[in-house]
């Protein structure tokens, strides 16, 4: 397993080693100890989610209040998506910037993003199936979104996704600037303090 930090601090691309033969393929898609070595603490798993999306579906940009926030470990078990990690932490040196990773059922990569980061993806295939391991259970009052079409963020959706399909919840979400002005976004300092508290527990 190889783990590489992305251009957004506190997010990582995970590439598993696959073992294939005439029966199929075996791999470890998650190792708490390997992830803990680079993050500084293990993922405190509290919930596991799965979504199935048609080609062109966009989900996100989603995030949760800190504390406790919601760290995510995401992989595509069927089909393909482009996964986006967006730095929405006010005061971060990379605030408003994003990185992306192709997650599919060929390379079977995963991404990890820490609490306080924004997350979105676009499905490149029909029945794109995405599994998420998350560090906190869903809490409606603590969950928020930013419009994934916000020009300030500038996510780039490949033409292979076809016509984009978004939920009303996501299209009605505020822009990054609006969310920042309303005090909705997490701060860099609060995020770092929370990460330090998790590392001290380890």
The tally of domains found in the chain comes to: 1
| Per-position pLDDT tens, the chain of length 202 | 999 999 999 999 999 999 999 999 999 999 999 999 999 999 999 999 999 999 999 999 999 999 999 999 999 999 999 999 999 999 999 999 999 999 999 999 999 999 999 999 999 999 999 999 999 999 999 999 999 999 999 999 999 999 999 999 999 999 999 999 999 999 999 999 999 999 998 7
Backbone angles phi, psi at 26, to 5 degrees: -125, 145
CA triple 194-195-200, angle to 5 deg: 100
- CA 117 to CA 163: how far, in whole Å? 26
- CA 82 to CA 103: how far, in whole Å? 6
- CA 186 to CA 189: how far, in whole Å? 9
Positions marked catalytic: 62, 132
Q: What is the pTM of this model?
A: 0.96
Q: Any idea what the CATH number is for the domain that residue 87 is in?
A: 2.60.120.10
Is residue 182 helix, strand or coil?
coil
Note down the domain range covering 110: 2-200
Confidence (pLDDT) at 197? 95
- CA 76 to CA 99: how far, in whole Å? 17
- CA 93 to CA 78: how far, in whole Å? 35
Within the chain, where are the H helices?
Answer: 32-39, 168-171, 176-181, 188-201
Taking 3-state DSSP, the helix, strand and coil percentages for the chain, each rounded to the nearest 5, stand at 20, 40, 45
């Amino acid at each position: 397993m190889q783990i590489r930090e992305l251009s957004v601090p506190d997010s990582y691309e995970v590439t598993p080693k696959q073992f294939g033969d005439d029966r199929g393929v075996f791999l470890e898609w998650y190792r708490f100890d390997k992830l803990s070595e680079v993050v500084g603490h293990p993922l405190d798993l509290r919930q596991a989610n799965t979504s199935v999306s048609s080609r062109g579906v966009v989900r996100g940009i989603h995030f949760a209040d800190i504390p406790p926030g919601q760290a995510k470990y995401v992989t595509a078990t069927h089909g393909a998506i482009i996964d986006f990690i967006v730095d929405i932490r006010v005061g971060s040196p990379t605030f408003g910037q994003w990185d992306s990773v192709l997650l599919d059922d060929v390379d079977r990569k995963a991404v990890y993003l820490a609490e306080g980061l924004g997350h979105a993806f676009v499905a490149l295939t029909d029945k794109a199936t995405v599994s998420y391991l998350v560090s906190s259970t869903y809490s409606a009052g603590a969950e928020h979104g930013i419009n994934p079409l916000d020009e300030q963020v500038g996510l780039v959706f490949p033409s292979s996704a076809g016509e984009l399909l978004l939920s009303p919840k996501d299209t009605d979400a505020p822009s990054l600037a609006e969310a920042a002005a309303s005090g909705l976004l997490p701060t860099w300092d609060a995020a770092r303090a929370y990460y330090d508290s998790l590392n001290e527990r380890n």
